[in-house]
Amino acid sequence: MTGVEARPIVLVVEDEPLLRLFAMDMIEEAGFEVLDARNTAEALTMMETCAGIRVVFTDVDMPGGADGIALATSIRRQWPKIAIVITSGKPWPIGIRLPEDAVFFSKPYRQDRVIATIRDMAG
Amino acid sequence: MSTEQDASRARALASLRVLDTPEEQAFEDIVFIASQTCDAPIALISLLDTDRQWFKARHGLDVGETPIDQSVCRIDIDDAHLLEVTDLSQDGRTHANPLVTGERTFRYYAGAPLTLRSGEVVGRLCVIDTTARPAGLSDTQKTLLLALARQASDHLELRRIARASERMAELQTALVEIGEHIRNSPDASQMTHAAAKIVGRVLNVERAGFGFVDDDVRSIDIESDWTAPGTASIAGRHRFEDYGAIRDHLARGEPLVIEDVLTDERTAADPAAMQAVGVEALVNMPVRQHDRTVAALIVNSAHRRIWMPEELTFLRSVADRLEAGVARFRGEQQQEMLNGEISHRLKNMLSMVQAIASQTLRDVPDRRPVETFEQRLMALSAAHDVLLQKSWINADLRTVADAVIDTVGFGDRVHMAGPPVALGARAALSFSLVLHELMTNACKYGALCRENGRVDVGWSIEGTGDDADLVMHWRESGGPLVVPPTRRGFGSKLVRMGLVGAGGVDLRYEPTGFQADLQASIRHLAQA
């Protein structure tokens, strides 16, 4: 085992450009490789084409149909090993269960806690 | 005799609500007086229904009704005059009547019309003898019989009015009950269901429901309807044209009132659709808004029935109230959605402020001010979350405290005790910042920077009414030896602003642990 181990990949899904940039920057700083998607559809395409994604960091409220909760649910179904971090400006909706191995952060979130969670998930 | 007049008579009679009711003394008295006045063994108050004559009162006869074709009373009924037949066995209209040819051997008949104020003749007050009376009644007897018939008619109508006012009182009570449900129901569907149930019960029908109609008044969405046991629900969307020509009335804003789907011109052509859902009679009461029909209250009966004017008035009131109630719920829902949307944007904005600050300050070597900034932003955001859950009306002090402490951490070492206290929006935000400063100071210099340190936060309400004050004690223990700070930073200024930004703060740097006492008027705290 001499090869350099690839850095774990985190996929950031956020429609708001500034917040996307901020999240990518924060996660990159923490030593991860970062991919980004602007909506659920883009995110799912990336999931299918890129094998190394370990954590998906997604917003809930995004335009264009399916939201972050739906995305989290389909990821959990298709890629059970990928961890999920969900973030939203709204409180977590009452009566909906958080998918297994998913963590919710209300916006604005504490960067150190988000990073600690992602580190933990990426193993 | 036209069937149209018979039908109209039957309607007038039905609206008197007297058929098949028990004996009443007033009518018994009238037939007794008639029999005595005319010296006849039999006297009857005979009411002419479509297929029978029914006797509201009888003297000297042992049957309560006969088939309509045996009725002598119905002869020339629409002339509204006294009918006298001196020998029934000799008269062409009656000689074959079973009451004449049979064992009853009726021979003489005199009947005065029962005429309502509307002009409708609903039957006769008659006297009968079993022997022919060629001389007939005297003029005085005829006058008395006609007078008694007027008494009987009047009494039938008064009786109806008395029943109607009792009925109105009953409907009024039901309306009050419905009003209570409209005010107290937690949501629109429970409200309409509760109202429909009361309507169904008080009108004794099989189904009642409420629904909004589409813009063209082509279809209705019936919300959870109430049904009597054994009757199926028709909740869901229905097109009016599937049930007959019933749309135009509603579109014009007139109530659709059908007494019998088999004979009503709007449904008679094809009553199958109505019958399929168990409807023989119905009322659709429209609700209007800006000259447009927006909703309807529907009432279905499994039997043909005459809808009384007071019942229709009642249904109109119920429909109007339900519409206002549902509109209120929709308004609240919209307000809630709007609040949620604004709050969501506000929090995205806070996130962006955080992002910009973080990017702008990324090269600042001293990370502490940057972190403090981020954490203060979090504390504000936490108070905002709590306020949002109550639509920004107020927030509970303990809930805000929990949320703020969660953003800092060490919650397990902060012990809180105190009664519920309502904080208005402004107090919730300033309290969140004060508490955040106390927490971060405790983490940096006070009890929470040692493993065994703890903070006790207790509060109570002192005084009553407008003079009541919230008094809060912050007590640290188990931390390092306390040294009073040499300078006052912004954080300390924040704390000194107090719970409502008006002071009332006492800070003590006791060697064993930092202490803060905060006091503020309950009234100020609750203000928005």
What domains are there in chain B, each with its CATH number?
3-161 (3.30.450.40), 185-330 (3.30.450.40), 367-526 (3.30.565.10)
- Distance from C-alpha of B371 to C-alpha of B364, rounded to nearest angstrom: 11
Closest partner residue to B348 (CB to CB) among A21, A26, A107 is A107
Three-class SS state of B157: helix
When mean pLDDT is compared across B307-311, B359-363, B477-481, B515-519, the lowest value belongs to B359-363
Chain B residue numbers touching A26 (CB-CB < 8 A): 358
E strands along B230-380, which residues?
A: 236-239, 256-258, 281-289, 292-301
Q: Considering the domain boundaries, does residue A110 fall inside one? A: yes
Range of the domain at A30: 9-122
Residue spans of alpha helices (H) in B55-138: 98-101
Instruction: List strands edge to edge, sheet with B42-48.
Output: B65-67, B52-59, B42-48, B121-129, B108-115, B83-85
- Calculate how close chain B gets to A37, using CA atoms only, in Å: 18
Chain A residue numbers touching B385 (CB-CB < 8 A): 91, 106
Q: Considering the domain boundaries, does residue A14 fall inside one? A: yes
The pairs formed by B72-75 with CB atoms below 8 angstroms and a separation of 24 or more are B72/B97, B72/B99, B72/B106, B72/B109, B72/B111, B72/B126, B73/B46, B73/B48, B73/B111, B73/B123, B73/B124, B73/B126, B74/B1, B74/B48
- For residue B286, cis peptide bond before it (omega within 30 degrees of 0): no
Could you read off the pLDDT of B176-223 as tens digits, one per residue?
Answer: 999 999 888 888 888 989 999 999 999 999 999 999 899 888 999 998
Total domain count for chain A? 1
Chain B residue numbers touching A115 (CB-CB < 8 A): none
Structure tokens at A89: 């400006």
Residue B36: per-residue pLDDT = 97
For the stretch A103-120, what's the b/e string if a residue is b when 16 or more beta carbons lie within 10 angstroms of its beta carbon? bbbbbbbbbeebbebbee
Q: What are phi and psi of B9, to 5 degrees?
A: -65, -40
Cβ atoms of A62 and A39 closer than 8 Å: yes
Closest partner residue to A61 (CB to CB) among B344, B381, B407 is B344
Contact A89 B356 (CB under 8 A): no
Q: How confident is the model at residue B502 (pLDDT cuts 50, 70, 90)?
A: confident
Structure tokens at B210: 């409420």
- Strand pairing report for A53-59 and A83-88: parallel
Q: Considering the domain boundaries, does residue A1 fall inside one? A: no
When mean pLDDT is compared across A97-111, B368-382, B384-398, the lowest value belongs to B384-398
- Distance from C-alpha of B422 to C-alpha of B444, rounded to nearest angstrom: 30
Could you read off the pLDDT of B56-106 as tens digits, one per residue?
Answer: 999 999 999 999 999 999 999 988 899 999 999 999 999 999 999 988 899
The phi-psi region of residue B186 (left if phi > 0; otherwise alpha if psi is between -120 and 50; otherwise beta) is alpha
Residue B117: per-residue pLDDT = 92
Highest-pLDDT range among B27-31, B224-228, B339-343: B27-31
Chain A residue numbers touching B350 (CB-CB < 8 A): 107-108
Q: Is residue B340 scored above 80 in pLDDT?
A: no
Could you read off the pLDDT of B47-61 as tens digits, one per residue?
Answer: 999 889 999 999 999
When mean pLDDT is compared across A64-68, B374-378, B399-403, the lowest value belongs to A64-68
Q: Considering the domain boundaries, does residue A75 fall inside one? A: yes
Residue type, B106: F
Q: Considering the domain boundaries, does residue A3 fall inside one? A: no
Q: Is residue B524 scored above 50 in pLDDT?
A: yes
- Strand pairing report for A9-13 and A33-37: parallel
Q: Considering the domain boundaries, does residue A50 fall inside one? A: yes
- Interface with chain A: mutation pick from B339, B342, B350, B351, highest number of A CBs within 10 Å: B351
Q: Considering the domain boundaries, does residue A63 fall inside one? A: yes
Could you read off the pLDDT of B121-136 as tens digits, one per residue?
Answer: 999 999 999 999 999 9
Q: What CATH number should be reported for the domain holding residue A90?
A: 3.40.50.2300
Mean pLDDT of B471-498: 86
Tens-digit pLDDT string for chain A (123 aa)? 444 567 899 999 998 887 888 899 899 989 999 999 988 989 999 999 988 899 999 998 776 556 888 889 889 999 999 999 999 887 777 778 888 889 999 888 888 889 999 999 987
